[in-house]
Chain A
Amino acid sequence: QQQVKQSPQSLIVQKGGISIINCAYENTAFDYFPWYQQFPGKGPALLIAIRPDVSEKKEGRFTISFNKSAKQFSLHIMDSQPGDSATYFCAASYSGNTPLVFGKGTRLSVIA
Chain B
Amino acid sequence: DAGVIQSPRHEVTEMGQEVTLRCKPISGHDYLFWYRQTMMRGLELLIYFNNNVPIDDSGMPEDRFSAKMPNASFSTLKIQPSEPRDSAVYFCASSFWQPNSPLHFGNGTRLTVT
Contact = CB atoms under 8 A, between A and B. Distances in A.
Given A45-B105, A99-B48, A32 B100 contact: yes
A76 to B, nearest CB: 21
Interface stretch (A11-19, A62-70, A78-86, A88-96): A88-96
Contact of B42 (A34, A43, A49, A102): A102
Interface stretch (B67-75, B76-84, B90-98): B90-98
B100 A93 contact: yes
B112 interface: no
Interface in A1-25: 6
Given A99-B33, A104-B41, A105-B42, A44 B98 contact: no
Interface residues of B, number: 24
Interface string B97-111: 111111111111000
Contacts of B42: 6, 89, 102-105
Interface residues on A, range: 20 to 34
Nearest to A51: B100
Interface of B: 4, 31, 33, 35, 41-43, 45, 48, 56, 91, 93, 97-108
20 contacts: A6-B42, A32-B99, A34-B100, A34-B102, A42-B107, A42-B108, A43-B106, A43-B107, A44-B43, A44-B103, A46-B103, A89-B42, A95-B99, A96-B99, A97-B99, A97-B101, A99-B56, A103-B42, A104-B42, A105-B42
Interface of A: 6, 32, 34, 36, 41-46, 49, 89, 93, 95-97, 99-105
